[in-house]
Amino acid sequence: MTTIWRESWRADPAAASLADRHYNRQKPGSPQFVPPGRCIVLSHDRAVWVTSWPFPAYVRHGWPGAWVNSLFRNEGAGLSSDLIRQAVAVTRAIWPAPALGIVSFVDADQVRHKRDPGRCYRRAGWSHVGFTAAGLYVFQQLPADMPAPDYSVTSPVLEAAG
């Protein structure tokens, strides 16, 4: 699998511009667009992806310990399901997959209306596993269903380990 992603950082101005146009952005215009804690930011000229790995003690949802896809914005970089698979593969190359895998929360009222919210996640091999207390759709991918790690993205983390 060839990925479009390059590793970035939580205050990358180009990625922040894309993040500003995402519905869950809390403070558009602020330089940082990633929740506090451990994160992997992947960017492309027309897309941005964030995997957060909050410490379970600070989690207020039903999947403590899972990675969280806290941001995904695609403005024409390719098929969203392909980008999701690639981002998970890159994340696996940097971090060991936790037992609960990765989750993402989708607000059906804030995304383009489709036949089924989270369609791109479903097509990327994720499952709809429930709802948050606030009514957001929850999608999850367990480690056994994840793509193989993709080591092709240059990563300071991988370079330090290797």
pLDDT score of 81: 97
Helix (H) or strand (E) holding 82: helix 80-94
CATH number at residue 144: 3.40.630.30
What sign does the dihedral 55-100-115-123 (CA atoms) show? Answer: positive
Q: Which residue type sits at 146?
A: M
Residue 131 included in any domain = yes
Distance CA 43, CA 120 (A): 18
Q: Domain span at residue 108?
A: 6-161
Q: What is the H or E stretch that residue 68 is in? A: strand 67-74
Residue 1 lies in a domain: no
pTM: 0.88
| Closest to 19 measured CA to CA, from 84, 70, 65, 89 | 70
Binned average pLDDT, 10 residues per bin, the chain of 162 residues: 87 86 66 86 94 88 93 93 97 96 89 79 97 94 97 62 47
Total structural domains in the chain? 1
* 3-state class percentages of the chain: helix first, strand second, coil last, to nearest 5: 25, 25, 50
Say what the pLDDT of residue 1 is: 60
